Amino acid sequence: MDRTVNDILNQDNFSKSDLITLLNCEGDDRTLLFKKSSEIKEKYIGKKVWFRGLIEFSNICGKDCLYCGIRKGNKNLERYSLDDDEILAAAKFAYIHSYGSIALQSGELESSFVSGRIENLLRRIREMSDGELGVTLSVGEQEPEVYKRWFDAGAHRYLLRVESTNPALYGKIHPDDSKHSFSRRLECLKSLQYIGYQTGTGVMIGLPFQTMEDLAGDLLFMKNFDIDMCGMGPYIEHADTPLIHHSQTLMPLKQRFDLTLKMIAIVRIMMKDINIVAATALQAIDPIGREKAVKIGANILMPNITPGKYRDSYKLYDNKPCTDDSAEDCQSCLEARVSLADAEVIYGEWGDSKHYSERRLRLK
C-alpha cells in the first residue's frame, strides 16, 4: 500500500519511492511539504539568512560542459579576468559592509599560475580583513594538493556542483572525454571533505533527459555523502550551448521552478542543519523566487559584488537577473527581499554550516 505524503513526512528516513512521491506532490500535499520544511528550518536554523558576497572573477574556462554559457567552445562570449586589485576591492566592499563571507567563483582552469594566484589572493584577503572575512571557493576540479594549499591560505568552504549524480545523465550533458569525468568529480568532492572544507554540491533541476528517479537519486546522494552545503537551481537554457537543441523536450520554466522549490524543501527535511543557497536562477523565472526559497528552507543568499561592467559576460544561462545592479543596489534589494520572506540578514558572521561542526566532531 502506497504511503501518503503525510505518512512520509512523519518519518526520519526516506526511500527513493518516498522521494519521488514528494517530488510529484501537488495541491494540499505540496502545501504540507512546504509547511514541514519551513518548520524544520525554523527549528534548526531560525529566521537567519547569511550573505556570501559573490565575486565572479573570471569567465575563462577550460571545460566544454554542454549546458553552460561560459563553456570553452562558446565563441560568442567576451572573455574577462579581473585583476588582483579589482578582486581585493570587491572583497573589501564585503568586509566594510559586514557581509561576513565572500564567494570567489570562476570558470574551471587547472594550472600552476591559476593555483598560485588564488593562493596569493586568499592570503591577501585574510590579511586585509584580519581573518574576519570567510571565503568560499567555487573554481572547479583541482588536484588534492591544490585544494590543501588553498585551505591553508584561508579558504574554508568549497562548492563543487555535480549537476547530476546519475553517471549516464552526467555523460549526456558533458563531452565524452577525460576532462569531463564523473568519477573525477566525485574524487574531488571526497578530497575536499577529507582536507576539512565545508563541502557543498548541488544539481540542476529540469535538465533534458532527467527523470524524477534521477532527482530522487540526487537527494539520496547528498544525504549519503553527508554534504555541509547545497547549491542547486533550475536548469535554464543558454542559446550558445549544444543542449539548446533539446529545448523542445523540456518541462515549462514554471514547472522547473516549482520542482526546484520541492528539492530545496526535501533537502531541508532530510538534512536539517546544512546551509542551502537560494539560487539567483530562481529569480530569473519568478521575480520573488529567492524569497520563496528562503521561506521553505534556504538560508544563504549571494549578492553579486562583481564590478558591474563584467556581469553581462558571466552568464551561465540566459536572462540572468540583476546584471546591471550596483553592489549597493544588490544589497538593499536582497535586504528587502529577506524581510518579505519573514527572515533576517545576519551581518558580521561567517554563517558556518551547523552540520559541518557536528560532522567534524563525529570524525574525532
* Calpha distance 92→146 (Å, rounded): 25
Across the range 74-96, mean pLDDT stands at 96
Beta-bridge mates of residue 157:
136, 198
48-363: what fold?
A: TIM Barrel (3.20.20)
How many residues are present in the chain?
A: 364
Give the containing element (helix H, strand E) for 233.
strand 233-234
Q: In terms of Cα–Cα distance, which of 298, 297, 302, 261 is closest to 280? A: 302
Q: In terms of Cα–Cα distance, which of 335, 333, 356 is closest to 345? A: 335
Three-state DSSP state, 276: strand
Across the range 247-253, mean pLDDT stands at 96
pLDDT of residue 325: 65
Residue 319 has pLDDT above 90, yes or no: no
Cell of 8: 512520509
pLDDT of residue 329: 63
Confidence (pTM): 0.95
pLDDT of residue 216: 98
339: number of Cβ within 10 Å: 13
pLDDT of residue 320: 75
Fill in the amino acid letter for 81.
S
Give me the chain's average pLDDT, please: 94
Residue 287 has pLDDT above 70, yes or no: yes
Residue 360 has pLDDT above 90, yes or no: no
* Calpha distance 250→310 (Å, rounded): 30
Residue 299 has pLDDT above 90, yes or no: yes
Q: CA–CA distance from 277 to each of 51, 72, 313 (Å)?
A: 10, 26, 22
Give domain limits for the chain. 48-363
Least confident of 142-156, 181-195, 334-348: 334-348
